[in-house]
Amino acid sequence: MEHDKQDSRQEDKRVGVTVISGFLGSGKTSLLNRLVREPAYADAVVIVNEYGDIGVDHHLVRLAPDNVVLVEGGCLCCVVSGSVVDALRELFMLALGRKIKPFRRVLIETSGLADPAPVLFTLKHDKFLAERYVYQGAIVVVAATHGPEELDLQPEAGRQLALADTVVISKSDLTDAAQVRKTEAAIAAINPGAHRCVQLPDEPLAAALREGGDPRARRDGTVTSKWLSAFSAPAAGRHANVKSFSLTLSPLPSRAAFLAGVARIQERFGPALLRMKGLICFQGEALPTEVHGVHGELYPMRPLAEWPGEDRLSRLVFIVRGLDVREVSDAVREALGQGAG
């Protein structure tokens, strides 16, 4: 048993990738400029796209060899002139050839109209990148001043929030406490499992942001377990356009039956199926497996060396947009052999 626990703590040597997203005007560029000044991100690379605003302030740039620049605090910034795939490949080879300093994490700033899904797709389908980089989640910035309205009116804002692991509420100093509470409620209605923090411009960064995600930290399923539990609250999933539901699996499906069932669900609902995430102990197995799907994609399932807590239920959460929750829930139950709800 002790050997198993040691295995569960094995370090992941790959470079951690975090996406910073948020709708137009949310304040993600301001957040990025604060992050690159933090010591935790001195070993990071920032990738910004060419069609959005350049995220790192020009006055921070100290050196510019080709398309890679060194910014204040030691963080590298890569201004992407092609695809993110090309940028990640080039950066890795530059570090391997000692043309730039080694890096242990990557921050990718998306445009205000994009969501983190393409990065997930990239890290799944490109073998070179999958062996060298690991997705560590998304930080999504929501403005307290107009975030709730955007979540109601803009499909992109809902997609971004559904994929968020951490949500930063910005511009709370420009509105009142009632509006901030309204923003928090709007966020919780779509993704109650995401960690939330209210960030004021004149206060230190929240600890979760300041410390940075450690790409070598153990991944034992605890975060996923807490995320799933948040969706069991009565208020979870109540939003006009984006809704969610959770499902406890009994009887347990086999791996083959699960894969076949999920494929049918993803083919049927496609991009409207914003996110699927869960912990499942498959039929005939003693330990759980972490599963994660986005839109029509199921990502490589990750077996865990131990249960993350006392709760040993196999559960899935689905976040959908523009669909009837009952219809999707019934389809999932049928596809996974769960019977009527």
Does pLDDT of 54 surpass 60? no
- CA-based nearest residue to 318, from 236, 252, 257: 236
Amino acid, single-letter form, for residue 131: E
**Average pLDDT of span 102-122:** 80
Q: Which amino acid is at 87?
A: A
Strand 315-321 relative to strand 242-248, pairing: antiparallel
The pLDDT of 286-296, averaged and rounded, is 91
Of 172, 182, 278, the C-alpha closest to 229 is 278
Residue 202: per-residue pLDDT: 86
pLDDT of residue 41: 85
Three-class DSSP category at 193: coil
Interatomic CA distance for residues 86 and 89, integer angstroms: 5
Crossing angle between the packed helical segments 84-96 and 117-125, to the nearest 10 degrees: 60
Mean pLDDT of 13-37: 86
The pLDDT, as a whole number, for residue 11 is: 66
Instruction: Please compute the mean of the pLDDT values over residues 26-43 and round it to a whole number.
Output: 84
Is residue 262 predicted with pLDDT exceeding 90?
yes
Length of the chain: 341
Residue 204, pLDDT above cutoff 80: yes
Classify residue 225 as exposed, middle or buried by CB count within 10 Å of its CB (0-12, 13-18, 19+).
Answer: buried
Pick among 3.60.20.10, 3.30.540.10, 3.40.50.300, 3.30.1220.10: CATH of 222-335: 3.30.1220.10
Q: Would you state the structure tokens that stand for residue 1, as one six-digit string?
A: 């048993």
CATH classification code of 8-211: 3.40.50.300
Distance CA(282)–CA(133), nearest Å, equals: 27
Burial of 4 (0-12, 13-18, 19+ CB in 10 A): exposed
pLDDT number for residue 326 = 92
Output the CA–CA distances (angstroms, integers) from residue 278 to 105, 165, 191, 229, 262, in the order listed.
Answer: 25, 14, 14, 10, 12
Question: Within the chain, what is the greatest distance between any pair of CA atoms?
Answer: 62
Q: What is the rounded (10 degree) CA torsion for 159, 117, 195, 198?
A: -60
The pLDDT, as a whole number, for residue 96 is: 92
pLDDT of 2 > 50? The answer is no
According to CATH, where is 3.30.1220.10 located in the chain? 222-335
Mean pLDDT value of segment 94-123: 82
Output the pLDDT for position 136.
87
The predicted pLDDT at position 213 comes to 61
Domain with CATH 3.40.50.300 in the chain: 8-211
Closest C-alpha to 21, from 126, 168, 147: 168
pLDDT for the residue numbered 63: 36
Report the range of poorest mean pLDDT among 59-63, 84-88, 263-267.
59-63
- Give the residue from 205, 13, 11, 219 showing the smallest Cα distance to 104: 13
Q: What is the CA radius of gyration of the chain?
A: 20
229-242 per-position pLDDT tens digit: 999 876 565 676 88
The most confident of 44-53, 200-209, 227-236, by mean pLDDT:
200-209
With tokens 């309205």, the residue in question is 149
3-state DSSP assignment of residue 329: helix
The whole-number pLDDT of residue 8 equals 42
> Who has greater pLDDT, 296 or 243?
243
- Cα 93 from chain centroid (whole Å): 26
pLDDT category at 3 given cuts 50, 70, 90 is very low
pLDDT value of residue 278: 94
116 has a pLDDT exceeding 70? yes
Indicate if the pLDDT at residue 6 is higher than 60: no
pLDDT for 19 beyond 50: yes
**With pLDDT > 90 as the criterion, what percentage of the chain qualifies?**
40
pLDDT tens per residue, range 129-153 = 999 998 888 999 999 999 988 888 8
